Amino acid sequence: MRKAVIAGNWKMNKTIKGAKELIALLKDKVNTDKVEVVFCPTYTALSTAVEELKGTNIKVGAQNMHWEDNGAFTGEISADMLLELGVEYVILGHSERRQYFNETDATVNKKFKKALKAGLIPIVCVGESLGEREADIQKKIVTDQVIAAFNEIEASDAAKSIVAYEPIWAIGTGKTASSEQAEEVCRWVRETLDSLYGTETSQKVRIQYGGSVNASNVDELMGMENIDGALVGGASLKEDFASIVNFGK
């Protein structure tokens, strides 16, 4: 059985002070071994998060990284720099990175390979836009994104990875995909992985849903066969995150 993994993507929110306050609010409520819980604060709060979460089961993830080890890449952060801080996960190819910072399938693939080689657990994001959903081409869009992301990634590495399906039209809009819509695409993701690696590997990959996940819709989403977790934005910044992590109770 795949262990559920619920990650909070704080995006560009919380100073160090704010991060400390949020962690203090949530720490005891989300410290469980039934679900893998990951907090993904901004770069500046990563050290604080690692420090504040010591002695708990809660892990820390970054929201992005560069694929090179070091060099003339102003403003960028490498995998080793994250590992040095005690970071264990990294979100890659979030739709906001693709949309506002020109990330492409090719750069996401480079980052994905690097993260795996470095020993970080990647959370690779895919998902269609509203226009693509309206044109009913979401299957092709998401399938192509998965194939491109996993290009030249070996089965043993693929099995350790997490894919997050986040339909762009559901992010920050309060408009969640229905659990059937979310399950359908997550199933396509698994079928794509199945065609790339076979069933043994595809059954190990954890697939998250993301997009307006909240305390009221999490139970239904988590009840779906191919949904193994959630990537939570807005609701990860408040007490609701505790209800999300403790879904089903």
Active site residue ranges: 94, 166
Contact between 64 and ligand 13P per CB under 6 A: no
Contact between 122 and ligand 13P per CB under 6 A: no
Query: Rounded to whole angstroms, how far apart are CA atoms 186 and 165?
Result: 7
Tell me, residue by residue from 17 to 56, as one string, x for binding to ligand 13P by CB under 6 A and - for no binding: ----------------------------------------
Smallest distance, ligand 13P to C-beta of residue 49, A: 17
Contact between 210 and ligand 13P per CB under 6 A: yes
Of 13 and 32, which has the nearer Cβ to ligand 13P? 13
Contact between 9 and ligand 13P per CB under 6 A: yes
Query: Rounded to whole angstroms, how far apart are CA atoms 176 and 170?
Result: 5
Of 41 and 210, which has the nearer Cβ to ligand 13P? 210
Of 89 and 197, which has the nearer Cβ to ligand 13P? 89
Tokens coding 179: 């659990």
Smallest distance, ligand 13P to C-beta of residue 168, A: 9
Smallest distance, ligand 13P to C-beta of residue 166, A: 5
Point out which residues bind ligand 13P (CB under 6 A).
Answer: 9, 94, 166, 171-172, 210-213, 231-235
